[in-house]
Chain A
Amino acid sequence: MTKLTLRNVSRTFGSVVAVDDFSLALAQGEFVALLGPSGCGKTTTLRMIAGLLDPSAGTIEMDGEVISSPGSSLPPEKRGMSMIFQSYAIWPNMTVAENVAFGLQVRRVSRAETRTKVEQILDVVQMRHLRDRYPAELSGGQQQRVALARAIVVQPAVLLLDEPLSNLDANLREEMRYEIRRLHDEFHITTVYVTHDQAEAMVTSDRIAVMNQGRVEQVDEPRALYARPRTRFVAGFIGRTNFLDGEVRDGEVAFDRFAIGLEQFAEAPALSGRVSFSLRPQSIRLLRQRPPASSGSSAIPGHVVQRAYLGEHWDYVVRPADSGLQLRVTARPHEVFEVGETVWLEVDPRQMAHIQ
């Protein structure tokens, strides 16, 4: 049962196309992230879902009813959604408790029930002891929690978050990532989360919609997005990767100075002519001797051009077969190679994702 559906939604500002033909369906209770660089249209899309902006084309439906369309839209105060802004937007003239109670008061909930619900939610976000403080007396992380409490206490149909962790320091960001996911799991709220940080998206979401210049590049679960990116942009935006361009010739894919048999690739039947692949640095193994031939891997000779030790892993740059290519390889801390050393690269072609 889809909770929220966006059908071919577009939005233009004058001659600038901010969102181009965006379609997405969210199931009840699903957590979807809109991920992309600045200016890709993710915040504009979120504001259209909230009703703060009308689409120029296309419709947005919730529970089967159209709530946004170019001519008429349901105003934001009637949508039953909650939104957390990048700047938290906590009202400075009210205490923490009053901020959280506002939505309930607007919905004419009885004073006793309001008090109970506010206390409960403040417990959940661990802000109960600060209930009578004013926003100016709170830290960024605490304000963030107030925004969360205020958004969740009204049990919204859809929860919208606009880069909520951008203003927090790295440690707090990590902590709050888990907090947001935990709250989602506890209350089962359908959530749309806008961010430019791929780690945030990967940790919190059920599915991620990667956006670039107003268009959706790919919508998939985090693992599928990482292992099987379908476009060059997605491959490069999510994690680091190596791009290999080759041509299908005589039953094998010919790269620069080396080739891999066509039958070894996962999407072999679909490959023809010029093809491009994304190969993750962790998918390449470096060995001192040529590995025995096996059906699941290919071995390519090469030598180490550069290396960097990062404690948790080694970053190697390897030139395969004297080609013009330079491949980045991630190796475990004990796998030490010298610059200039000859190595063998073991690659599983099934882990090479075919990209458009």
Chain B
Amino acid sequence: MIRTKRARRALTLLVCYGVIAGFVVFFLFPPYWMAITSFKTNQEIESLEGIPLIIQHGATLRHYRDLFAKTDFLLYFMNSVLVTVPVVFFSMVISVLAAYALSRLGFAGAGVIGTGVFLVYLVPDSLLFIPLFKIIGALGLLNSKWSLVLVYPTLIVPFCTWLLIGYFASIPKELDEAALVDGAGHLQMLVLIFLPVAVPGLIAATIFAFTVSWSGFLYPLAFIFSSGEQVLTTGTVTSLIKGDVYHWGGLMAGALLASLPPVLLYVFLMDYYISGLTAGSTKG
């Protein structure tokens, strides 16, 4: 009887690991492909012989060198940073205050507004960019990276507000009330008690805001023309795809470097996210 149990358990584990292995391959294959392509020589990339899955003819740093020397990669990187930092900051401030008001300060119409906020998010950005183009033009911000600072929050704030409304609602009201009765003003209570307890939700919203802003492609494509104002996503593409010539080595190197900041951010924030989840709340 023990042998069959052990055998069954071993089989279950095997199947589980098999499925996990499948997922790992599926999700890690693109980054792997990006990485090896960025280190391959141009001849190897274009050759139709050999095994494409490994580097067979020696690795090279040429594509990385060319990326920094022959393109404006660093400029695009800086532009992305200059756009993303204010966008995340403003979006989070607006979303947190809106979510707090809509979920905690029960005023007439709060429920309707909350639902309305979420419905706004459902409008796709591929539709929105047309009217936004007119607005950005009227503001004189066409072809400027600052137009993105105005436009990205329209995508980020609805979703983050909705996410935070849900998260804030899960925090027991008694924690706020205990702080108020203890003598704290509303702002003190918000900063010292409420937001620290809400950290996992805040981190989730920040990660979303960062990802949308860092990886946005459609809006920079629509609103920015000259290469000096381009961000990473559009900049790498326009400078490394000339007509029908794709400089794969450079493209892959650029893509890999561009994906580093989000990865670093997630790794940095995950610790706080998990410790926030296990801190727990009130008993009973």
Q: Name A's B-contacting residues (CB within 8 A).
A: 50-52, 75-83, 85-93, 102-103, 106-107, 134-136, 140, 143, 150, 154, 160, 166-167
Do residues A89 and B175 form an inter-chain contact, with CB atoms below 8 A?
Answer: yes
B203 interfacial contact with A, CB 8 Å:
no
By beta carbon, the residue of chain B nearest A139 is B283
Do residues A89 and B184 form an inter-chain contact, with CB atoms below 8 A?
Answer: no
B15 interfacial contact with A, CB 8 Å:
no
Residues of A contacting B180 in the complex (Cβ-Cβ under 8 angstroms): 52, 75-77
22 CB < 8 A contacts A-B: A52-B180, A77-B180, A77-B184, A77-B185, A79-B181, A82-B182, A83-B181, A85-B177, A85-B282, A87-B174, A88-B282, A90-B282, A91-B175, A91-B193, A92-B280, A93-B199, A102-B182, A106-B188, A107-B183, A140-B283, A140-B284, A150-B182
Q: How far is the CA of A85 from the CA of B284 in the complex (A)?
A: 11
B179 interfacial contact with A, CB 8 Å:
yes
B279 interfacial contact with A, CB 8 Å:
yes
Do residues B280 and A50 form an inter-chain contact, with CB atoms below 8 A?
Answer: no
Cβ of A174 to closest chain B Cβ, rounded Å: 19
1/0 per position for B178-212, CB-CB distance to A under 8 A? 11111111001000110011010000000000000
Residues of B contacting A143 in the complex (Cβ-Cβ under 8 angstroms): 283
Q: How far is the CA of A76 from the CA of B182 in the complex (A)?
A: 8
Residues of B contacting A102 in the complex (Cβ-Cβ under 8 angstroms): 179, 182, 184, 192
1/0 per position for B157-189, CB-CB distance to A under 8 A? 000000000000000101101111111110010
Do residues B283 and A87 form an inter-chain contact, with CB atoms below 8 A?
Answer: yes
B4 interfacial contact with A, CB 8 Å:
no
Give the interface size bracket for B toward A. Answer: 20 to 34
By beta carbon, the residue of chain A nearest B184 is A106
Q: How far is the CA of A93 from the CA of B282 in the complex (A)?
A: 11
B47 interfacial contact with A, CB 8 Å:
no
Do residues A136 and B188 form an inter-chain contact, with CB atoms below 8 A?
Answer: no
By beta carbon, the residue of chain A nearest B195 is A93
Q: How far is the CA of A143 from the CA of B178 in the complex (A)?
A: 14
Residues of B contacting A154 in the complex (Cβ-Cβ under 8 angstroms): 182-183
Residues of B contacting A83 in the complex (Cβ-Cβ under 8 angstroms): 177-178, 181
Which of B174, B179, B183, B188 has the largest count of A CB atoms less than 10 A from its CB? B183
State the 3 A-B residue pairs at the shortest beta-carbon distance, nearest first: A89-B178, A93-B196, A89-B174
Known: A89-B178, A90-B282, A102-B182. 19 other contacts (CB 8 A): A51-B181, A52-B177, A52-B181, A76-B181, A77-B181, A77-B184, A78-B183, A82-B182, A83-B178, A85-B282, A87-B282, A91-B175, A102-B184, A106-B183, A136-B278, A140-B283, A150-B182, A166-B284, A167-B284
By beta carbon, the residue of chain B nearest A106 is B183
B259 interfacial contact with A, CB 8 Å:
no
By beta carbon, the residue of chain A nearest B189 is A77
Q: How far is the CA of A87 from the CA of B180 in the complex (A)?
A: 16
Which of B172, B193, B283, B284 has the largest count of A CB atoms less than 10 A from its CB? B283
Q: Name B's A-contacting residues (CB within 8 A).
A: 172, 174-175, 177-185, 188, 192-193, 196-197, 199, 278-284
Residues of B contacting A166 in the complex (Cβ-Cβ under 8 angstroms): 284
Do residues A50 and B181 form an inter-chain contact, with CB atoms below 8 A?
Answer: yes
By beta carbon, the residue of chain A nearest B185 is A77
Q: How far is the CA of A134 from the CA of B181 in the complex (A)?
A: 21
By beta carbon, the residue of chain B nearest A137 is B280
Residues of A contacting B184 in the complex (Cβ-Cβ under 8 angstroms): 77, 102, 106
Do residues B172 and A92 form an inter-chain contact, with CB atoms below 8 A?
Answer: no
Residues of B contacting A92 in the complex (Cβ-Cβ under 8 angstroms): 197, 279-282
By beta carbon, the residue of chain A nearest B192 is A102
Q: How far is the CA of A160 from the CA of B178 in the complex (A)?
A: 11
Q: How far is the CA of A107 from the CA of B188 in the complex (A)?
A: 12
Q: How far is the CA of A87 from the CA of B185 in the complex (A)?
A: 22
Residues of A contacting B185 in the complex (Cβ-Cβ under 8 angstroms): 77
Residues of B contacting A150 in the complex (Cβ-Cβ under 8 angstroms): 182
Return the contact of A85 from the options B178, B196, B199, B278 (Cβ within 8 A).
Answer: B178
Do residues B178 and A134 form an inter-chain contact, with CB atoms below 8 A?
Answer: no
Residues of A contacting B284 in the complex (Cβ-Cβ under 8 angstroms): 86-88, 140, 166-167
Return the contact of B183 from the options A103, A134, A136 (Cβ within 8 A).
Answer: A103
Q: How far is the CA of A88 from the CA of B183 in the complex (A)?
A: 17
Q: How far is the CA of A140 from the CA of B284 in the complex (A)?
A: 9
Q: How far is the CA of A103 from the CA of B284 in the complex (A)?
A: 23
By beta carbon, the residue of chain B nearest A52 is B177
Do residues B280 and A135 form an inter-chain contact, with CB atoms below 8 A?
Answer: yes
By beta carbon, the residue of chain B nearest A135 is B280
Q: How far is the CA of A118 from the CA of B30 in the complex (A)?
A: 57
Residues of A contacting B196 in the complex (Cβ-Cβ under 8 angstroms): 93
Q: How far is the CA of A89 from the CA of B175 in the complex (A)?
A: 5
Q: How far is the CA of A89 from the CA of B172 in the complex (A)?
A: 8
Residues of A contacting B178 in the complex (Cβ-Cβ under 8 angstroms): 83, 85, 89, 91
